[in-house]
Structure formats: C-alpha cells, structure tokens
Amino acid sequence: MLLIGNGPVITRDEKNPFLPGGCVAIDGSLIKEVGNTSEMKEKYEGSRFVDARGNIIMPGFINAHMHFYSTFSRGMPSKYAPAQNFAEVLDRLWWKLDKALTLEAVYYSAITALIDSVKNGCTTLIDHHASPMSVAGSLFEIERAAREAGVRASLCYEVSDRDGVDIMKQGVKENIDFIDHAAKSKDDLIAGMFGLHASVTLSDETLSFCREAMDGRDAGYHVHVAEGPSDEEDSEAKYKKRIVERFREFGITGNKSLFIHCIHLNERELDVVRETNTAVVHNPESNMGNAVGCAPLLKLFETGILTGLGTDGYVSDMLQSYKMANALQKHHNKHPNVAWGEIPTMLFENNAKICERCFKTPLGKLRAGYSGDVIVSDYNPPTRLSDENINGHLLFGAEGCSVVTTVASGKVLMQDRVLSELDEHAIFARAREVSERVWEAV
C-alpha cells in the first residue's frame, strides 16, 4: 500500500472534489481510497507514506498527441533554406529528421521525452511515430522506453506514401504487429493504434491496403487532419471530396480514432466527426509555430465533438499547452472572455475520456478504482485554493516544473524532483552522442 498525503487534494471527482488535508491510498496500481491524512495513516498503518508537505496533490496529466522523436530536433542546425510554409517545414525538417533515425535513436529520443514528461507530471501519453529507414521494431523500442520510464502509452507508426510502397507496407506491418502485441498486454500500460500521416501523403490504394490490414482488429486510427489548408486543397483536387468525407469512406472515422488538429474543416465535416464519434486533439504551440491557423475550438465544443489537448512534440509540459491554448483562443477570437471552460475540460476531462478508448483502466480522477496516477506540485498559492478556483491557479501560477513527485500506476517515478528508477544524467549523455550521429545524417 502506498499513501500520498498531507496536502490539499484536487481529485477531479465531482462527488468528492476537494480535501484540504487529504491523502490518496493506492493498492497495487489502483486507487483504493481518498480521505483524511491522519485517518488514512492510522487505517493503513505500516504503508509507505509520501509526504506532500502541504503541497497540492492532483491526478497525473495526460498528453493526447505527442511525437517522441521530435526531441532530437532540439538545437539541430539546419542545412536547408528557411521554410516559407508548412509543406516546407515538413520537407526540410521533419522528413529529414525521421529518415535519419536508427532504432537506437528511436529509443533515446523516446526515453528522454518520457523523462521530461515524468518531470512535468505527465503519466499517460499517446504517441505518433515515424522512422522510415528503421521501421521494423520501432514501436517496440518506444514501448521499452515507456516501460522503463513507468508511464502508460498508446503507440502507432505513421504510414505514408512519401518514401515508397515498400516502406509504406513496412509501416502497416509495424502497426499491425504492435496492435496485436499490445492487445495481449495484461497490465494495461501499453496500447496500439494504427498511425497514418495525413490525407496529402496517402493514396486511395494505400488507404484500402490499411483498411484490409486492420480487418477484425479493435483499434482506431491516429491521423493528422486538415492541419494546413493545402491538405484540404489536395484532397479536393485529387479525389473531388473533403478529407473527412474521404476518410469516412475508408473506415478511418469512429469512436476509437483520433483526428489531430482539424483546423480547416468545414461545417459538414465537423458534423461527420461528431456523428461518427471521432475524437479531435488540439495542439496550440505546434499550430502557432507552423503558422497553419487556429483550431476552431469553440465550434468543436458547440458541435459536440470530444476534443482533447496535446503538445505535438513541441513540449512535454501539459500546463504550458494549457496556458497557450487559453491565450490563443482569446487572441484568435478577439475576445478576452472565451474558452475559460473549454480548455480545462480538454485537459482535465476529455483527455481521460479519449484514453478510455485506448485503455481499460479509468484515468484522470483520484477516486477508488482509478489508476494510481498522482502528482504533487509545490506551487504555493498566494490566495485561497479550492476545487472551484484550481484551474485559475494552474493557468496563472503553476508550471510543469512545479511538479516534485510523480506516481504512475502506483509506482513512484519521481520524488522531490529525483527520478526513482532511471539515471537521468547517463541517459541524456548517451542521447547527446546518438543525436550527433542523427544530425550528421540529416
């Protein structure tokens, strides 16, 4: 039994939202009880006790869209002319980097991103991977990193036509092999999805091949949708239909699938996303950095689409994306009072609902039967703190680096900012060596 207590507890549980001096009891990987610290210590005498020392106790964060391999782009010198549009960003950065990845680089880019995530209080991540010169076994290397880091992860490989038919088929096989492997997992820490890049790099023949490969499997698709305006223009020019209509015809929509970005969808497409119960993930830093536009979050919520929050590999700090999403909507809509409710709903409620489509264990709340994913933040509120104003405190005060303790599935991954299982300095030193070789090959 593990107890995390002696601090204000934000449970995200509407039946028991706030305990001023609370404690979370975890039995194995699941929460057994949430209650008063002194009573819990007496009831579970002899249990390991993690003292929050008056700091805030909360559920671990969830990142609904990540690219672990993008970690190796940090500080990378460019050999090409500066990109002038999103297509050139893909061609001159990401499609050069992913081709240079070896399986060792896949592992080290993932484990370093996962360490960053743990240090920022993120305990569950949904990743989207590409390494076209090292396809076979790449998802299994990422799984190895995720298990060593101790987090829960949903993984997929990004299938596209951009590197030829053989590599496309390798990507399909990697997805299917991993989906089948993850389905046999008994600890519910790993899940598989079928990754696709985007409509612009996927022919009808490839989508048919993917659909046939997925036959009989209960896993959804993870795909970028209408990120830049050229994606829709390409679909209409080549196929005489919009992206969502095209994807629906190939069975890519549905309640297990994730559509990433969805910036340039029209109203009919939004209706199809809602009708098919497909989820959407917003990534504010990426959209701003790539200058592709601003996702219509208010319209997504108004339409009734389940919408979550991700980082797209830009950062590992969900609170940073939370803050950025809030500011971006206000700026884009030219109104200082929009998106106060939508953004917290995305991070603290909808990301957990999205994960319910990948995993069996309930996430996102400190409640009996939920996963033992608990973080402690040393953010010291200068004003009164409660369940009614915690979102404002997190928006304007706390940061990911405020997290001092991270527990995932009942396992202490970090305490007092020190990783419990991994040698962070040795891992990052090796990552720097591996990344140098990747940069030379880009």
Residue entry with tokens 């207590």: 5
- Domain of 388, CATH number, reads 2.30.40.10
Q: H or E stretch including 299?
A: helix 297-303
pLDDT in tens, 187-205: 999 999 999 999 999 999 9
22 plus 106 within the same structural domain: no
Phi, psi of 129 (to 5 degrees): -115, 150
Q: How far apart are CA 436 and CA 96, in angstroms?
A: 14
**Domain span including residue 403:** 2-60+371-419
The type of residue at 37 is: T
Cβ within 8 Å of residue 241, ≥6 positions away: 235
187 plus 306 within the same structural domain: yes
Query: Comparing C-alpha atoms, which of 323, 330, 332, 327 is closest to residue 293?
Result: 332
18 domain residue, yes or no: yes
Token pair listed for 134: 């090292």
Look at the alpha carbons of 432, 435, 440, 442 in this order and tell me if their dihedral is positive or negative.
negative
* Residue ranges of the chain with per-residue pLDDT less than 50: none
332 plus 384 within the same structural domain: no
For 89-98, the CB contacts below 8 A with 24+ separation are 89/290, 94/70, 94/130, 95/162, 96/442, 97/69, 97/70, 97/72, 97/73, 97/438, 97/442, 98/69, 98/130, 98/131, 98/132
185 plus 266 within the same structural domain: yes
Cβ within 8 Å of residue 62, ≥6 positions away: 122, 123, 124, 125, 308, 318, 347, 351, 352, 354, 355, 363, 364
The type of residue at 428 is: F
Q: How far apart are CA 36 and CA 39, in angstroms?
A: 5
Residues belonging to the chain: 442
CA distances from 306 to 44, 337, 360, 371 (A): 39, 22, 18, 22
Look up the pTM and report it: 0.98
320 domain residue, yes or no: yes
For 197-265, give the DSSP string: EEGGG--HHHHHHHHHHTTT----EEEEES-SHHHHHHHHHHHSS-HHHHHHHTT--STT-EEEE--S-
Q: Answer for the pair 97, 442: CB distance below 8 angstroms, yes or no.
A: yes
224 plus 330 within the same structural domain: yes
pLDDT value of position 421: 86
437 domain residue, yes or no: no
143 domain residue, yes or no: yes
71 plus 204 within the same structural domain: yes
Beta bridge partners of 403: 377
pLDDT in tens, 37-73: 999 999 999 999 999 999 999 999 999 999 999 999 9
Q: Answer for the pair 48, 349: CB distance below 8 angstroms, yes or no.
A: no
What angle separates helix 204-213 from helix 165-183, to the nearest 10 degrees?
Answer: 30
Q: How far apart are CA 413 and CA 53, in angstroms?
A: 18
68 plus 54 within the same structural domain: no
387 domain residue, yes or no: yes
Helical H runs in 56-119? 86-89, 95-97, 103-119
Query: Comparing C-alpha atoms, which of 272, 282, 285 is closest to residue 242?
Result: 272
- Domain of 126, CATH number, reads 3.20.20.140
216 domain residue, yes or no: yes
Q: How many domains does the chain have?
A: 2
pLDDT value of position 220: 97
305 domain residue, yes or no: yes
80 plus 109 within the same structural domain: yes
395 domain residue, yes or no: yes
Q: How far apart are CA 400 and CA 322, in angstroms?
A: 10
90 plus 132 within the same structural domain: yes
55 plus 204 within the same structural domain: no
Q: How far apart are CA 8 and CA 11, in angstroms?
A: 10
Residue entry with tokens 């404690």: 23
252 plus 287 within the same structural domain: yes
Look at the alpha carbons of 359, 361, 362, 365 in this order and tell me if their dihedral is positive or negative.
negative
Q: Answer for the pair 278, 247: CB distance below 8 angstroms, yes or no.
A: no
Token pair listed for 170: 């390798």
Query: Comparing C-alpha atoms, which of 324, 264, 331, 327 is closest to residue 299?
Result: 264
44 plus 70 within the same structural domain: no
